Amino acid sequence: MELRQRILSNPDILTGKPVIAGTRLSVQFIVGLLAKGVTHEEILMEYPYITEEDIRACLSYASQLLDSSTLIPLAA
């Protein structure tokens, strides 16, 4: 599944923050957990409805966002 299918932005969900598709878990939240030292396995245990690929998509989205030459279009 592509990044644009895993990470979505909808103004009706968390005021448009990028989230994992089908959830209210924002990219910012997941990246923040990882930054605090929470492991992928711990995240998956706490939120069993997301996948390892979803976590990697969050990291990929954040990485691309930091590349000022990359525009990431998001589907609603």
Residue 38 lies in a domain: yes
Residue 3 lies in a domain: no
Least Cα distance to 64 among 6, 11, 23, 24 occurs for 6
User: pTM for this one?
Assistant: 0.84
The type of residue at 48 is P
Residue 51 lies in a domain: yes
In this prediction, residue 70 carries a pLDDT of: 59
Residue 48 lies in a domain: yes
Extract the residue ranges of the chain whose pLDDT is less than 70.
1, 68-72, 75-76
SS3 60: helix
Residue 73 lies in a domain: no
